[in-house]
Structure 1
Amino acid sequence: MADGNDPAVTQNASSMEGALAQWQQYKQKAESGEFRMDAQIGDALRGRAQTMLDGLEGVLLVTAKQLGRIGGFGTLPSAEALQAKFENKAVNDSDSAVNQLKKHIDLVTLMRDTYALSIRKLSDTDQANAGQFNNMDV
């Protein structure tokens, strides 16, 4: 089993942290109005992110949490220790399946919110520009 010292685990954690940091920057740019996108494209991306969230939260996370109680290992002390190890790997460990899914849920939530914000900022800018245009004397 991989542990916290496994290079693959460390690389995956680093990738997730990098992705979260990148999307936090995008969100900050969307908040300041620097990151804007076409409403149709942004809405489609936001909708896809919501679909992904529904799957992550509604199916995968629920299923992963059910792995916190598994059986069939027997009553030998070594079997019970192995059962506990698998249950922890599924739910309790810092790199458990549940915790990894929660990180992905955080990322996709950030993406969805960033798309929504970038659309709103573009719409707000368009309305402000239209208002200025309408107030001009011709």
Structure 2
Amino acid sequence: MAINDEKARWSYLAQEARTGRLYLDSAVAAECRDVCNRQIDLYTKLRENLKQIVNVTGLGNFSCADELAKMLGAKAIGGDGDVDAALKEHLEVITLIRDTIQVSVEMYEAQDAANAAEQDKLLD
């Protein structure tokens, strides 16, 4: 599935969560949110590491080696279909997923607190 389709899907689900039409089990949602956070951290670190491999060296003293080094560096950052852009797009989707899950967790916790307060009123 295309990344734009995933963005649209998770934007829709985020709106559903904000309006209270999407609920996830709080334990499962919390675990998924934590996994998303770990993935976001990993992709962020990978994007930082890409900066170290933009300037490829050690391919020899040939003009074709220089061109190959430029091409490989562009595949890391800035070129057509570069890894950095792909990671950035995936980060956007994972952030949408995480934020959607977080809304669901917060709504679940708020509902749970409201239910507990109502139960306390009944018991008093």
1:129 positional shift: 4.7
Partner of 2:48: 62
Q: Match for 1:90: what amino acid?
A: A
Cα distance in structure 2, aligned partners of 1:52 and 1:82: 31
- Mapping of 1:2-17 within 5 angstroms? 15-17=2-4
2:23 matched residue in structure 1:
36
CA distance in 2 between partners of 1:66 and 1:33 (Å): 44
Structure 2: which 5+ residue stretches go unaligned? none
Which secondary structure state, in structure 1, belongs to the residue aligned with residue 2 of structure 2? helix
Q: Of the two structures, which has the highest relative contact order with CA contacts closer than 8 Å and spacing of 6 or more?
A: 2
**Aligned equivalents of 1:78 and 1:70: distance in 2?**
13
Q: Normalising by structure 2, what TM-score?
A: 0.83
The residue type equivalent to 1:78 in the other structure is C
Instruction: Measure the CA separation in 2 of the matches of 1:108 and 1:89.
Output: 22
CA distance in 2, matches of 1:73, 1:134: 73
Which residue identity lines up with residue 109 of structure 1 in the other structure? T
Is the contact between residue 91 and residue 99 of structure 1 (CA under 8 Å) also seen in structure 2? Answer: yes
| Identity value in percent | 25
Give RMSD over aligned pairs. Answer: 2.2
In structure 1, the residue matched to 2:78 is 92
3-state DSSP class of the match of 2:27?
Answer: helix
The equivalences for 1:73-84 within 5 A come to 73-84=59-70
CA deviations over 1:119-138 (Å, ceiling 9, x no partner): 111222333455566667xx
What is the alpha-carbon distance in structure 2 between the residues aligned to residue 94 and residue 50 of structure 1?
28
Q: Which residue in the other structure is 1:113 paired with?
A: 99
Normalised by the length of structure 1, the TM-score is: 0.76
Which stretch of the first structure deviates more once superposed, 117-126 or 107-116? 117-126
Task: Give how far 1:22 is off.
Answer: 1.0
Work out whether 1:27 is the aligned partner of 2:14: yes
Q: SS of the counterpart of 1:80? A: helix
Quick one: distance in 2 between partners of 1:94 and 1:72?
23
- Do 1:65 and 1:98's aligned partners in 2 also have CA atoms closer than 8 Å? no
Matched AA of 1:107: V
